[in-house]
Amino acid sequence: KRQNGNFTTFNNFENVYFPIYIHVLFLKYVLYGMNAEIAKLRISDKRNKILRDEFMTIKNNYFLSHISYNFMPNEVYQHLIESLDIMLEIERMEERIEKINDYIEEQSSQAMNRFLGFMALVTPLSALWDVFEWSDKLFGLSSHYALFSSMIFSVLFIVPLSIIGILVLKSKSYKAH
């Protein structure tokens, strides 16, 4: 050991181990704060997406597997992680994030089902319109006849088909829960 301050024990602690301790305390503080904040929110709250993204950024940027090429700083880091229950905080947060992701996926699926249901209603009407326009041009049928025929066709075919489709979608949604 030299006495000029370059290799003293205190200098080693001050420049190597204390920053590790501060880093782990930072992780604990941020993760605990995020867990507390996300626990207060309803699962449908829009802030959950922001917290999910922030958590992933914190985990990717600050939760390190190794912090040094030396043996001892990595050991100190691992023991500090263990003693401050950082892994428990991460596991809790990941469980909450998984629930949020499931909710977001379910909401997206429901929105897509509504859109597809709407398209299922619009598509036959569009095709029906084209058929009647074609028949009017080809056979010279009047627009009143086409209108009357389309109303009968929609009442007898499209409306029951749409109702059956909606019931099937609802039963699939009910079985998923």
Q: Where residue 156 falls among pLDDT bands split at 50, 70, 90?
A: low
**What string of DSSP letters covers 70-85?**
SHHHHHHHHHHHHHTT
In this prediction, residue 116 carries a pLDDT of 83
Q: Which of 21-30, 81-90, 134-143 has the lowest mean pLDDT?
A: 134-143
Please tell me the number of Cα atoms within 13 Å of 126 on its side-chain side.
Answer: 6
Instruction: Provide the 3-class DSSP secondary structure of residue 141.
Output: coil
C-alpha dist (Å) from residue 84 to 37, 119, 120: 19, 54, 55
- Give the per-residue pLDDT at 143: 58
Mean pLDDT of 158-166: 72
The tens digit of pLDDT for each residue in 109-150 reads: 888 888 887 777 777 767 766 766 776 676 665 556 656 666
